[in-house]
Structure 1
């Protein structure tokens, strides 16, 4: 019987820089394979093959997508045997537990020197362009975050915080009741989505496909969505329940979703740019409306409209830079793919495909 695949983004382009959670995943894993080498589409194909290999053995696999390249994968995590395969060079990840849970496989020797020399000049130009467009994209996202902060300050001044506290307290009572487990609650971390060359994208449908109860938060920016989710995760852990934190793909410090697996429950920000509503046939779907506690004045509405327009313009500019960044990334990988020795690659990758008993 085959396993299944859950999709996440492996990294996000945020206002604070490029964010990934591979160090947290390395802590979670029992065995980590550091795949070291130049960025290639061949490396992505290898990770896909590894993912499918384990799915066919009945394992659940988490698939970590590239933010820029729609079909590229940068890591796979095999649940059940808790193995992480990650293209480590991209993120400067280094093994610290060699001989125990960390294993290294280098693919640099699969590059043919003669082919590299032929592509060297074009490769250097593409790599410089990649860096330049990434910096422009991140700088523009940083500007967008600052505009979003201005937006939040306006809404916060119109918020009835006591009413929100009462609503959250009621949710806690309903959700946790008298549950306290005789164990320490664990915490894991993933990303909800990211800005891509196609706009903001997320994998909410995949992440929540097997979750019975889904609460979709509706509310304006700055009204406490991230804070209340962090609070729920803290409460879950204090009661011995595990919690998974799903981080925002724009503001690196904000939370967009919390999953409490033992309660088959999740709660997530269901406002722009990831709007969701209860689905027909999913009886556990419902709205958690905190927008009712924010009463905007006429002046606040006018001020927000001005900031919103600037914010949307900044995000549009960032998307344009992300597109150019992706084009440069594609060129780099395409050039390096042509420098790989097929026979050396086949020889190097063969040992990775070992059958595992669940």
Structure 2
């Protein structure tokens, strides 16, 4: 039977700039293959080839998506095999992980050298334009976040902190029961990202196999992220493994916690990642109803409507910069794609599969 498939992001286009959690995502793996070199869409195609080759294996596959374009992959992790395959352009120029073997693969071998040189020279100006567009997006995301801060203040000022703390403590005491005494493992990821198409999230996929899912409803500033931070700290103190999912817009904020040993998730289920209970084990925790002074929405309806409109407009402007960056990047990648030897790309994929087979004593390509 094919293993589980998990989808998420390791990087985000955020109000704090391009923010990466790769060091946490890859921590604890035995081997990481790093694909270095400019290949246009080639690395994503290679990763798709690998994903398809391992589709029916019983490993849990982690698919790490490109924060600009979620349709493209920039990494795969084979959980039980403790192996990762990562686009070196997405991680770092000099990757280091304590206790992990790093195997560097040169993707230039898949390129026709003379065409590669033409692509590198011909796309210099476009690369500069892409960099400027990203910076414009990040600057506008920061402006958008400051507008969001204005929105939050209405609810922060009317938050019953004693009730909010009680909700957090009661949740911890009811749900965070250690399975056994040990040191907790903490992993940080992004459940969603601000892509060229707007906000995208993988909450349904990441929580699909969990027994209990708590959908937290509320308003900006109603204490959701603060509650998650306190619960994450409490879980670590109790030795409970925790997957911490940061907000793809503001990485200093948390959007979801998953406790795999407890088959439990608690997550911010408001826009732009709004979801609703659909099965047994799902429930809603509405912190607005429980901890915000009644009538707050009504008392400040006009002011909040104005802020919401400014926030939406600013966010749309930010996404517009990413859309243009994606358009130009596609043009750049077309130039590199033209330099790619598809047979060599497939040969590199086969080489990675063979190395993984040797590491895991498996035979994905046994019949080839």
TM-score normalised according to structure 1 size: 0.93
Give runs of ≥4 in structure 1 deviating > 4 Å.
Answer: 97-100
1:218 shift after superposition: 0.7
Moved more, 71-80 or 129-138: 129-138
Cα distance in 2 between the residues matched to 1:304 and 1:100: 50
Q: Give the Cα–Cα distance (whole angstroms) in 1 for the partners of residues 184 and 97 of structure 2.
A: 25
Q: Judging changes above 3 Å, is the alpha-carbon distance between structure 1 residues 2 and 226 closer, same or farther for their aligned structure 2 residues?
A: same
1:8/1:192 contact within 8 Å kept: yes
By how many angstroms is 1:104 displaced?
Answer: 0.7
Question: Does the CA contact (< 8 Å) of 2:46 and 2:346 recur in 1?
Answer: no
Map of 1:286 onto structure 2: 283
String of CA shifts for 1:32-53, please: whole Å, max 9, x gaps: 1111011521211111222232
For residues 257 and 100 of structure 2, the distance between their equivalents in structure 1, rounded to whole angstroms, comes to: 32
**Contact 2:11/2:67 (8 A) holds in 1:** yes
Report SS of the residue matched to 2:123: helix
Alpha-carbon distance in 2 for matches of 1:261, 1:308: 36
Tell me the alpha carbon deviations over residues 314-354 of structure 1, each in whole angstroms, 9 at most, x when there is no partner.
01111111111111121121110111234443444432112
Query: 1:155 touches 1:300 (CA, 8 Å); kept in 2?
Result: no
Q: Describe the shift of the 1:241–1:297 C-alpha distance in structure 2 as closer, same or farther (beyond 3 A).
A: closer
Q: Which residue in 1 is equivalent to 2:250?
A: 251
2:233 aligns with 234
Which residue number in structure 1 is paired with residue 80 of structure 2? 80
| Alignment of structure 1 residues 45-56 onto 2, 5 Å | 45-56=45-56
2:27–2:97 Cα contact (<8 Å) kept = no
Structural RMSD (CA) = 2.1
Tell me, which stretches of 5 or more residues in structure 2 are unaligned?
363-368
Work out the CA distance in 2 between the residues paired with 1:235 and 1:99. 27
| Shift, 1:310, TM fit | 1.0
User: Residues 170 and 214 (structure 1 numbering): CA distance in 2 closer, same or farther, change over 3 Å?
Assistant: same
Instruction: Give distance in 1, aligned partners of 2:297 and 2:126.
Output: 50
Q: How does 1:201-240 map to 2 (within 5 A)?
A: 201-240=200-239
Asked whether the 8 Å contact 2:179–2:261 carries over to 1, the reply is: no
Q: Deviations over 1:129-148 (max 9, x none)?
A: 21121111111111101111
Question: What TM-score do the two structures reach when normalised by structure 2?
Answer: 0.90
Which position in structure 1 is the counterpart of 2:269? 270
CA distance in structure 2 between the aligned counterparts of 1:230 and 1:99, rounded to whole angstroms: 28
Aligned residues: 355
**Distance between the aligned counterparts of 1:153 and 1:2, measured in 2?**
47
Q: What is the CA distance between 1:180 and its match in structure 2?
A: 6.4
CA contact (8 A) 1:95 1:104 kept: no
- Which residue pairs with 2:365 in the alignment? none
The alpha-carbon distance between structure 1 residues 100 and 217, as it changes in their structure 2 partners (threshold 3 A), is closer
| Cα contact 1:77–1:85 (8 A) shared by 2 | yes
